[in-house]
Amino acid sequence: MTREDSVRVVAAGDHFVLPGLIERAVRTEAGETPVEVRELMLGWPLEPFGPVAEVTEASDAEDELIEALAGARVLVTQMGPVTERVLAARPGLRLVVVCRGGPVNVNLDAATSRDVRVCYAPGRNAAATAEFTVGLLLAALRRIPQAHDLLARQGSWEGAAYYTYEHSGLELEDLPVGLVGYGAVGSRVARALCAFGARVMVYDPYVRGEIHGLRVSSLDELLRRSRVVTLHARLTAGTRGLIGARELALLPRGAVLVNVARGPLLDEAALCDALESGQLSAAALDTYEREPLPPGSRLSGFADRVVLTPHLGGASRAVAEKAARIAAAEVGRWLRGEPLAHCLT
């Protein structure tokens, strides 16, 4: 087979899922099938993602992607904007694999109408996000970032005040912790919290079978019984704004809320009101209604009680490597004519 007969693949990576990781994984999966891999570096996370044309959470790089896809039949990417315009410009494209838990950067209707298969990489960051959730929870409960800032940045021993009864934090052992959602991330968080000795409760109307912890029948019941709540639900039309002023008011006074799932699950204005009133004693957030978090956000006014991180839950080297391998495995199946494992079109 000549170079002209090889399958051209574009590895449109970024500064997290590196193009080189994708290329090596694709070549391994391709085996004896000749492939020509072209690497393209997109700007995320050094440049924020956002809506691009009709897709969400993509790098603003339609022109660069169109140029790189010349002659390509396969695209593997994390943040590449696979829009109507991109698909129309490259009719030879047959397979798109997104290195993420869902292809939010792909116009699925346009892909379907052009007979382009679209795959994704479920579960790639479940362990990392679960670990990060527990880390944020511990940081919020024990005021770790605030004490660090006082001592390491300001040279002040005032953080010792967190040892007073009034200001000391909660420990996980015997603490009632409610999980909203019990998918790949929530189930791992539940296992970890059970190991700490927390009294874990779970609300997820879609999960059947055995769970770690106590299943409760309604969100309201979970909120009333939990000193800490962590969010793990998927963002849908039905879950947008899932936790608002009414729901926060159901929590015991002084409760703690953690969100490493999706920002729009939570009404941030209501959260700030609850922090201001003392209904919540602390919160830890990794995701927000708007990203990047706008300058002057009201959340910044609660630095003594809120832990804020810039959407880092899935940021581990293992996640980048797993994402490349999962995506490349789909390319290998497609090259061999086998059924695709995680395909939406």
Q: Give the residue numbers marked as catalytic.
A: 262, 291, 311
| 307/246 Cα distance (integer angstroms) | 23
Residue found under tokens 């956000």: 297
Q: Looking at this protein, which amino acid is placed at residue 134?
A: V
Residue tagged 């959407």 (tokens) = 311
Count of other CB atoms within 10 angstroms of residue 152: 10
Torsion of CA 66, 31, 326, 340, to 10 degrees: 80
CB-based contact 118:96 (threshold 8 Å): yes
Q: What is the DSSP string of 259-326?
A: E-S-GGGB-HHHHHHHHHHTSEEEEEES--SSSSPPTT-GGGGGTTTEEE-SS-TT--HHHHHHHHHH
Burial class (CB in 10 A: 0-12, 13-18, 19+), 157: exposed
φ/ψ of 292, rounded to 5, equals -60, 155
Planar angle of CA 268, 272, 277, nearest 5 degrees: 150
In sign, the C-alpha dihedral spanning 210, 216, 222, 228 is negative
Consecutive H or E run containing 224: helix 219-225
Name the 3-class secondary structure at 93. Answer: coil
The amino acid present at 333, given as its one-letter code, is R
Yes or no: say if 268 and 298 are a contact pair by the CB < 8 Å rule. Answer: yes
Return the amino acid letter for 299. Answer: L
Whether residue 29 contacts residue 328, with contact meaning beta carbons closer than 8 Å, is answered with yes
